Amino acid sequence: MGLVCDLTNKNCKPCEGGVPPLTQPEIDEMMKQLEGWQQHEQTIGKTYPFKNYYQTIAFVNAVAWMTHREDHHPDLKVGYNSCAVEYSTHAISGLSENDFICAAKIDALFKI
């Protein structure tokens, strides 16, 4: 669990491309630091359940606030009682540490 804290204490670095995406062994190591996230090719994703629409939207707004501060935005699919979050670093057509930092921070928001 201490590893997740390490990710939540980091901040995203600007990524305009020109750096390679993480390798599969690097992704595998980063995935160990997240709970319930799944890798689908060059993305990671997780669906968060809620009791109602209000809780879902409150979570979406919290995610929007945090990701705006990090300047690293996920794709969100919002339903009545769930929100699916998907990350990929489009500038490098793959996964970067930023994706994992934000994933860990979203998990922390969900636990509030």
- Residues 88, 42 contacting (CB under 8 angstroms): yes
Q: What is the dihedral of CA 53, 54, 59, 65, to 10 degrees?
A: 120
Beta-carbon contacts of residue 10 (< 8 Å; ≥ 6 apart): 97, 101
The structure's pTM equals 0.84
Per-residue pLDDT band for 31 (boundaries 50, 70, 90) equals very high
pLDDT over 60 at 2, yes or no = no
Fold classification of 2-110 is Gyrase A; domain 2 (3.30.1360)
Per-residue pLDDT band for 14 (boundaries 50, 70, 90) equals low
